[in-house]
A and B are shown apart, each in its own frame.
Chain A
Amino acid sequence: MKSLILRVATRYLAALLLIFSLYLLLRGHNEPGGGFIGGLVGATAFVLHAIACGTAEARAALRVQPQTIAVTGLAVALVAGLVPAFSGDAFLTGEWLFLFAEDGGKGIPLSTPLMFDTGVYLVVLGAILTLVLAMEEEI
């Protein structure tokens, strides 16, 4: 689809969508959002890009093969599950680290659930793009 309006709009929209997807991913633990939804939004950004500018440009923008992203996501989730083993906990137990935490506050919480959710994000993003890009290229 060679629509100039769409292409110009996509440049801004895609960027916004990507930032929004990261925002969704990070707020997911306390507010609506999370890796799954974030991944879907992130995928939408690239799907939009592919519709507006063609799959070749979308792939170039991705820089990595979408399959690689999906598999990497799975690996990240697996590692997040294995980390608790170092403190002797069961597979996929949540481990938390509160950086700069003051009394009563939680500071900057870093955790294996966040890492796991990032894995989910990458899997969803990669899997959807694998499918959509391959199907669009088939036409």
Chain B
Amino acid sequence: MRAPRPAAPLTPAVRSGPAPTATPTQRAEETAIATDPKSDRRNGIAGWAPVLLSATLFAWFCTFLPAVAEGEVLLWQLDWVPSLSVSLSFLVDGLSLTFLLLISGIGTLVMLYSDSYLRGDPQYARFALYLTSFMLSMLGLVAADNLIALFVFWELTTITSYLLIGFHNDEADSRRSALQALLVTGTGALAMMAGMILMGVAAGTFEISEIVAQGDVLREHPWYLAIMILILAGAFTKSAQVPFHFWLPNAMAAPTPVSAFLHSATMVKGGVYLLARLHPALSGTEVWLWTLTIAGAATAVFASLQAMRQTDMKQVLAYTTLMALGTLTLFLASGSAYAITAFVVFLVTHSFYKASLFLMAGCVDHGTGTRDLRVLGGLARAMPLTALAAAIAALSMAGLPPFIGFIAKELGYGGSIEAASSPLLVTGAALIANALMFTVAAVVALNPFWRRGGETPSKPHEADWQMLAGPLILAALGLAAGIFPHVLEHYAAAPIAQSLLGDAEKAKELHLWAGVNTPFLLSLATFALGLVLYFARGALRRALESTVGRLPDLDARWDDVIDGLKGFAAWQTRLLQTGKLRRYLVVIFATYAGVMAVTLAMKAAVVVELDFSDLILKQWMVVGLIVTGAAIVTVTRSRLAAIAALGTVGIGVALTFIVYSAPDVAITQLLIETLNVVLVSVALLRMPLLDPAGTHDHRPKDAVLALAVGGVVATLLLCVLAVPMDMRLTQFFEEASYPDAHGRNIVNVILVDFRAIDTFGEITVVVIAALSAYALLRTTGRRDRA
């Protein structure tokens, strides 16, 4: 029995060139699930607790607003690993607070939405736990003031994102997408960690607030390029910039609230956040300017073209999110006041309308059973409130006045015409992307509701209040911010300009009407081009199929890379892990002897002085015992005799310890040897009988190996003895043992007191080894019996 859930994700359309076609049966099945009567069961505490938590956090963050708007920076600090200068320090300034409010605010709405969207899902508690953990990690990420702490939170968001994308873990597609997102962003994050460590070492501190203060030092530093590339690797993979973009559309396999929250409003902005946070430290060089300009522009244009090709609502929105991320990166390329103000306004604008649109798509999916734009139409009558939210959000996305999207677009053009890189390139890219956004907004958010006709798998019905609250509130905020732009300016744009440029005054004033200027004319051109593209969308799609559709498909290459890795792993496993114990031992000992011999030859002046003059009879007897035991092992044909002879060698060693007065070691050795004989006898009794023909073939080779290992170890010991022993530690333990640790047996005092943490590690290993061996014995045993 499959878990009841409202919608199965579509096959990501990017992977196969042509648009996906959903078979009628598949659709019908999903509808049946969507209207499953069982799904009325309430989610209980897992439903409302996350809402309460995020709402409380949101309210708490709101109390910071006045102080931060005045330019204050709030700091908390807690030592974490002081020896590595890792501290759990948090900083709230304009940039952090804007993100904190977006995350907790949208989080509240998304949690409220999910409770209804996934009502009755038996796994809802798990979902709520993942989503809440994600939110907390994301809040930590944007508030962290220590590079290492930031990295830890960063990876926590990666892991929770993985769990959320793969939430429908009974579907191969979800699992693949989740793993892809994890590996792409995880690999980038590893590079980023290297970059952060370099950065911390170069700046002499891991506190971000101190690092950004020394931008000049970093830019002059010989490691600058390495630091920048490594950090960009992390930011670009997280924020899905071309060519690392392919994981984001696939991540739409996640339930819709997750797509709205993680993969549009918050997590994917983590990369952009990092770029903004480190902007004062790294920006201002040619290479930064051009890397971000090219990556951002390429992503924005490529994504908006791809968005036109899609027919699944969520895929369209995923690509428009990519476009937004590209645009944000583009803004951060330069440090001009226009660009930074545009960055802030567009960041907020996009979070409002995109989260709203994603949640709206979820309502449509929930209410009709499909997200296919070719089928949807005429929903405005059945779903009036969803249609209203969609319309407001779409108008903001299209950049029409009086919505905040219009102001964001004007500011963007203002920044692009005075871009430090190439005004023509940047403005051109922005114009194409914005015009396509205009078209896409109409296609994705107006057509399904206002277009005539349309047949949906199930009879459309309006969503409940919990699902409508999010899209409506967020869409309304987009309108309110457009009408009262100075609120946004006071609480977000100015404080962020303070964080990034060091001066709140530099933020551009936000106006709905700034007079007839170049940005305004460019806006008009955008609308005109957008309208033309809307009416020519059929032709445009066909044209895109034959051009963009033929670009190399990175998603398919991804599979090749993964297959290649698996092939390599299989090959080297076959080579090294033959499953034959003899082979393993040969490899281990040969490697050991070889490496030791080379090291000895290169590093040590081997002076072999054999002086037997101080040996008395009892010592010679011990030597005789050991040699005899070893000789018997090599010639005997009986296993038990060999084991017993090996035990004799061990006892000889124990006697040596007694002769040289180390009773503790001697007792231990004796006991271990005894148990060893018992254990090995028990184990060998299970083994098949020796093959006489095969055994003797091996002996000469084994002899060579044994002599080599023995020779190397003996040489090593002689070399060690040739060097005078450093007695300082021994002396310390001898002196401190009784007064400090109340014990006369130094060995034991060291084990349980001075170096107790080592012992603790060792006994942990002993327990793990015993439990693993036990598990192995039990499983193979069961298979044998079966």
**Is B747 in the interface zone, CB < 8 Å from A?**
yes
Within 8 A of B (CB), among A1-43: 28-37, 40-41, 43
A71 and B766 alpha carbons, distance in the complex (Å): 10
A123 and B664 alpha carbons, distance in the complex (Å): 19
Residues of B within 8 A of A40 (CB): 668, 671-672, 675
Within 8 A of A (CB), among B179-233: none
Within 8 A of A (CB), among B661-712: 663-664, 667-668, 671-672, 674-675, 678-679, 682-683, 685-686
Residues of A within 8 A of B674 (CB): 44
Contact in complex: A34, B748 (CB < 8 Å):
yes
A79 and B597 alpha carbons, distance in the complex (Å): 44
Given A32-B663, A32-B667, A117-B748, A67-B770 contact (CB < 8 Å): yes
Contact in complex: A74, B764 (CB < 8 Å):
yes
Contact in complex: B763, A32 (CB < 8 Å):
no
**Is B621 in the interface zone, CB < 8 Å from A?**
no
Contact in complex: A77, B766 (CB < 8 Å):
no
| CB of A52 to closest CB in B, whole Å | 12
Contact in complex: B747, A34 (CB < 8 Å):
yes
**Is B759 in the interface zone, CB < 8 Å from A?**
yes
Contact with A along B749-781 (1 / 0, CB 8 A): 101110011011001101101110110011001
Contact with A along B372-399 (1 / 0, CB 8 A): 0000000000000000000000000000
A33 and B757 alpha carbons, distance in the complex (Å): 19
A135 and B676 alpha carbons, distance in the complex (Å): 13
Contact in complex: A28, B745 (CB < 8 Å):
yes
Residues of A within 8 A of B682 (CB): 132, 135-136, 139
Residues of B within 8 A of A109 (CB): 742
**Is A78 in the interface zone, CB < 8 Å from B?**
yes
Contact in complex: B664, A29 (CB < 8 Å):
no
Contact in complex: A44, B763 (CB < 8 Å):
no
Contact in complex: A116, B756 (CB < 8 Å):
yes
Contact in complex: B771, A130 (CB < 8 Å):
yes
**Is B741 in the interface zone, CB < 8 Å from A?**
yes
Given A109-B742, A117-B752, A136-B682, A70-B771 contact (CB < 8 Å): yes
| CB of A94 to closest CB in B, whole Å | 5
A67 and B430 alpha carbons, distance in the complex (Å): 66
| CB of A34 to closest CB in B, whole Å | 4
A36 and B346 alpha carbons, distance in the complex (Å): 66
Q: Which secondary structure dominates chain B's binding surface?
A: helix
**Is B743 in the interface zone, CB < 8 Å from A?**
yes
Contact with B along A114-139 (1 / 0, CB 8 A): 10110110011011101110111011
Closest B residue to A127 by CB, please name it: B770
Contact in complex: A31, B741 (CB < 8 Å):
no
Contact in complex: B753, A94 (CB < 8 Å):
yes
| CB of B679 to closest CB in A, whole Å | 6
**Is B744 in the interface zone, CB < 8 Å from A?**
yes
Partner of A41, one of B664, B671, B757, B760: B671
A64 and B664 alpha carbons, distance in the complex (Å): 29
A120 and B767 alpha carbons, distance in the complex (Å): 10
Contact in complex: A120, B667 (CB < 8 Å):
no
Contact in complex: B667, A135 (CB < 8 Å):
no
Residues of A within 8 A of B781 (CB): 138
Given A92-B760, A130-B774, A43-B752 contact (CB < 8 Å): no
Contact in complex: B756, A113 (CB < 8 Å):
yes
| CB of B378 to closest CB in A, whole Å | 65
A28 and B679 alpha carbons, distance in the complex (Å): 26
A113 and B742 alpha carbons, distance in the complex (Å): 10
Contact in complex: A123, B774 (CB < 8 Å):
no
Given A44-B675, A131-B679, A31-B766 contact (CB < 8 Å): no
Residues of A within 8 A of B774 (CB): 67, 130-131, 134
Contact with A along B730-747 (1 / 0, CB 8 A): 000000000001111101
Given A34-B752, A70-B771, A81-B756, A127-B747 contact (CB < 8 Å): no
Contact in complex: A126, B668 (CB < 8 Å):
no
Given A43-B675, A74-B763, A92-B757, A31-B745 contact (CB < 8 Å): yes
A31 and B749 alpha carbons, distance in the complex (Å): 11
Given A34-B664, A113-B756, A134-B774, A29-B767 contact (CB < 8 Å): no
A136 and B663 alpha carbons, distance in the complex (Å): 31
Closest B residue to A116 by CB, please name it: B752
A32 and B658 alpha carbons, distance in the complex (Å): 12
Closest B residue to A73 by CB, please name it: B763
Residues of A within 8 A of B744 (CB): 29-31
| CB of A79 to closest CB in B, whole Å | 11
| CB of B146 to closest CB in A, whole Å | 23
Contact in complex: A134, B752 (CB < 8 Å):
no
A30 and B663 alpha carbons, distance in the complex (Å): 12
Given A47-B678, A120-B752, A139-B682, A134-B745 contact (CB < 8 Å): no
| CB of B148 to closest CB in A, whole Å | 21
Residues of A within 8 A of B759 (CB): 77, 116, 120
Residues of B within 8 A of A30 (CB): 743-745
Within 8 A of A (CB), among B343-364: none
Residues of B within 8 A of A131 (CB): 679, 770, 773-774
| CB of B748 to closest CB in A, whole Å | 4
Contact in complex: B675, A106 (CB < 8 Å):
no
Partner of A70, one of B678, B686, B741, B770: B770
Contact in complex: A32, B679 (CB < 8 Å):
no
A37 and B760 alpha carbons, distance in the complex (Å): 16
Residues of B within 8 A of A41 (CB): 671
Residues of B within 8 A of A94 (CB): 741-742, 752-753, 756
Contact in complex: B743, A29 (CB < 8 Å):
yes
A135 and B686 alpha carbons, distance in the complex (Å): 9
Closest A residue to B664 by CB, please name it: A32
A12 and B478 alpha carbons, distance in the complex (Å): 86
User: Other CB < 8 Å A-B pairs besides A33-B664, A33-B745, 12 of them?
Assistant: A29-B748, A34-B747, A43-B675, A44-B671, A71-B767, A73-B767, A77-B763, A91-B757, A106-B742, A117-B752, A120-B763, A138-B777
Closest 7 CB pairs of A and B: A127-B770, A29-B743, A40-B671, A32-B663, A34-B748, A30-B744, A113-B752
Which B residues are closer than 8 A to A by beta carbons? 663-664, 667-668, 671-672, 674-675, 678-679, 682-683, 685-686, 741-745, 747-749, 751-753, 756-757, 759-760, 763-764, 766-767, 769-771, 773-774, 777-778, 781
CB-defined A-B contacts under 8 Å, sample of 20: A29-B744, A29-B749, A33-B745, A34-B747, A43-B675, A47-B675, A73-B767, A77-B760, A94-B741, A94-B752, A94-B753, A111-B742, A116-B756, A123-B767, A126-B770, A130-B771, A134-B777, A135-B777, A136-B682, A138-B777
